[in-house]
Amino acid sequence: MATCIWLRSCGARRLGSTFPGCRLRPRAGGLVPASGPAPGPAQLRCYAGRLAGLSAALLRTDSFVGGRWLPAAATFPVQDPASGAALGMVADCGVREARAAVRAAYEAFCRWREVSAKERSSLLRKWYNLMIQNKDDLARIITAESGKPLKEAHGEILYSAFFLEWFSEEARRVYGDIIYTPAKDRRALVLKQPIGVAAVITPWNFPSAMITRKVGAALAAGCTVVVKPAEDTPFSALALAELASQAGIPSGVYNVIPCSRKNAKEVGEAICTDPLVSKISFTGSTTTGKILLHHAANSVKRVSMELGGLAPFIVFDSANVDQAVAGAMASKFRNTGQTCVCSNQFLVQRGIHDAFVKAFAEAMKKNLRVGNGFEEGTTQGPLINEKAVEKVEKQVNDAVSKGATVVTGGKRHQLGKNFFEPTLLCNVTQDMLCTHEETFGPLAPVIKFDTEEEAIAIANAADVGLAGYFYSQDPAQIWRVAEQLEVGMVGVNEGLISSVECPFGGVKQSGLGREGSKYGIDEYLELKYVCYGGL
């Protein structure tokens, strides 16, 4: 657990005016160069018309460190994935800025840990209330920088805010224990204490919710954070910083250091190896997670990680076809297939296979509409970038070359740019890339199987295990399969499983620890045993 010796020797009094009751007023700054004035409507329109009219206070481009908006020596562009247009130039932080952010978080931790649980709860609740009040603007920011359909972006903002609400309540429920030992003159106590500064590294596909799911728990526990958002979607993290400041979250408790893809590796390494950081929380690829684990190992930091998945979606002969298709649509095509719990391979039993494929194809043609996320009726926005499109295209071409049949879709969409047609493949075999490589796109490959044992063997062959889904009306089968699937989360006759009240996380190479739920706050707490003798 982090200690505060350095702070005591370096002037803790500097923090006195930034804790509850003494709100910091950050300088104005939006989608303009860091040295320029607050943007007016005309300036905003020249960056991206879709963001015109939003509160200038929410459109930030500088880093947020120690309660101040700070420019960096360089900037990097953030683009709208639907059009390729530049949304704005954002501070491109480097190692120096990263270390300064950790130092600010460490200073703040030594005071924040002493703030009462009730006060931390109250501040998180204020932050939640501000998110709800600004939900429309926050949703538009998500759609602009990630391409996510606006309706889904609104859903993410509510989901994101609910984590702050949940952990505002959990902050007051951090309980210890009293243990009666064999010795009559002793009592044993177990205390739970905040671990220290947490480095939080988040992905682009849920640019708001992945922050609050981690940060809400950390702040509730009494920790402080340094957030490095994905280079594709920094505006959401910076907007959250503005609202945190408005809510009265003390300076240095929540810090944000955006950086370009070019600087991401060195910035990630800097915050993950800094001796003042006690905890790393990361959501992203398994490959990157392994690198961060190496960084954490040198100083034995606490780590929680939500990594890649290869979610199986199994449809047994006893399943209700309409129900299974509805679940498949929800699970596969949310955020255009760009979620870590999206179904990656569909295993359908022989007796129901043809009926399911036919109904699935019809549902896709009827209900999916590709377009700009801001357009009314759009259900499928763009993929995040050209590289993502190339990956889906490669998987489709590989499958077709090995005998798969394209039922619908199969190619880049006529809208061009980063759009790809929602695609359904049948006659898929296990030697195809799409069955053992996470897609992160609108591709649904269907594998036909004969027995329950075969389906479970295929599903469990992966070296990852985040989520899994299956449809069955057989109670005995439901119990068997739910227990045998090697995943951290199982949807039984349900395609959407995420909820703030439930633990989110995986097994095998899909990660470590759990987020959300009553268990999420434990990731930011240390247990301390106290033996009280002489009674």
- Catalytic center residues: 306
Cα 451–chain centre separation: 35
**What CA–CA distances, in Å, run from 135 to 60, 131, 166, 247, 251?**
16, 6, 17, 15, 23
Who contacts 109 (Cβ-Cβ below 8 Å, separation ≥6)? Answer: 2, 4, 194, 196, 197, 222, 223, 224, 252
CB atoms within 10 A of CB 358: 13
Q: What SS3 state is found at 393?
A: helix
The closest of 64, 108, 119 to 247, measured between CA atoms, is 119
- Contact between residue 344 and residue 430 where contact means Cβ atoms under 8 Å apart: no
The four Cα atoms 290, 294, 297, 298 give a dihedral, to 10 degrees, of -170
Distances (CA, A) of 53 to 43, 50, 56, 285, 503: 11, 8, 8, 35, 38
CA distance 462 to 510: 10
**Helices 209-221/150-170 angle, 10° precision:** 10
DSSP symbol at 435? G
Distance (Å, whole) CA 321 – CA 41:
51
Strand-pair partners of 447: 347
Choose among 48, 30, 49, 50: nearest CA to 38: 30
Q: How far lies 380's CA from each of 92, 260, 334, 438, 498, in Å?
A: 30, 27, 8, 19, 20
C-alpha to C-alpha distances, 441 to 53, 223, 420, nearest whole angstrom: 31, 35, 8
Residue type, 270: A
